[in-house]
Amino acid sequence: MSTAPGELILEVNDLRTYIYTRTSVVKAVDGISFYLNRGETLGIVGESGCGKTMTALSLLRLIPRPAGRIVSGEILLHGEDLVQKSEEEMRQVRGQKISMILQDPQTSLNPVFNIGNQLMESLALTHKEGRRNLWQRAVDSLRNVNVAAPERRMDDFPHQMSGGMKQRVVGAIAMSLEPDIIIADEPTTALDVTIQLQYLRLLKDIQARTGLAIIFITHDFGVVARMCDRVAVMYAGHIVEHGSVRDLFNNPQHPYTQALMASVPKMEEKVDRLYSIEGQPPLLWDLPEGCLFAARCPHAQDRCQEYPPTFTIKEGHTADCWMLDPSW
């Protein structure tokens, strides 16, 4: 389905994804809401274990089963609720409308098949053509992600490629069916700094050409500043602050966001000890009452024993913190 630039593509409302074990319920995603427009990049940031990847897997309905399930909420793609779709219908969504680039390209590619076979396999799902045409489409996909000599690379196996080249191939597979949305789950973590920059620039170039919408999951605020238009800050399965990159960098409101920003080293400042957030995130199967960050927050008060509502700082900028209440 074609969409105009800036048109709403994805809307997530009160999504809850839980993992059920014999002894407890892990609330991996616990009531999050966000949206994504065509040609836009939404960053999702937070500490490990806060629910970023589980959010991405929920969008694709690839959560681990039978333990994991979406217990409530909506995932509206072009107005259609993916939560209500059958598994057969979801196969038409994955790859064609939403694709995902995983963190480690080494585990995303099959070591016993060459690159051409792996690209052509995904293309054959929607393009009922002869092998010659599929081969040419696969070559074009590699060329679109700036792989040099793509015809020759078609016969290469993953072990013959560098990490950066493998990540480009994974990107080519993800974008080969021209999806509306790409979910990039820390795609630069396994790359060195120089290759990271090249890969990020490549994604931005492809986005500018195609109007692709991107959900970028990362720990790196430098990547957020370079890649994203808006940011959702996640903590213990919740989105605790959401706003434009400019608003979050210039005026972070939630204490957790402020702590994350303070954890980023500043090259112009000399310090004896780098800042770190005291304590540990709460256990997702034993969440405390009230504000989930209260045990680590320097501003916590008795009122924080109740979970705060979402306060609006300005249009498009919200945070869940009692400090934003005028009566605080």
126 part of a folded domain: no
Q: Are strands 68-77 and 41-45 parallel, antiparallel or unpaired?
A: unpaired
Using 50, 70 and 90 to split pLDDT, how confident is the model at 152? very high
Residue 133 belongs to some domain of the structure:
no
pLDDT, one tens digit per residue, over 177-189 is: 889 999 999 888 7
Domain presence at residue 282: yes
Mean pLDDT calculated for residue range 49-66: 94
In this structure, what DSSP letter does residue 79 have? T
Token pair recorded at residue 270: 């000399």
CATH number of the domain residue 224 falls in = 3.40.50.300
Query: In total, how many domains does the chain have?
Result: 1
What integer best gives the mean pLDDT of the chain?
Answer: 91
Helix extents (H) in the chain: 52-59, 87-93, 105-108, 115-124, 131-144, 150-153, 163-175, 193-210, 221-227, 245-250, 255-262
Residue 135 lies in a domain: no
Q: Is residue 225 part of a domain?
A: yes
Tens of pLDDT, residues 209-240: 999 999 999 988 888 998 999 999 999 999 99
In a domain, 276, yes or no: yes
- Angle of CA points 69, 75, 81, to nearest 5°: 100
Position 52 in a domain = yes
pLDDT reported for residue 1: 35
> Structural domain of residue 15, as residue ranges?
8-97+179-324
Whether the CB-CB separation of 6 and 38 falls below 8 Å is answered with yes
Which tens digits make up the pLDDT trace of 288-323? 999 999 999 999 999 999 999 999 999 999 999 999
Between 9 and 148, the more confident residue is 9
Residue 111 placed within a domain: no
pLDDT over 80 (residue 82):
yes
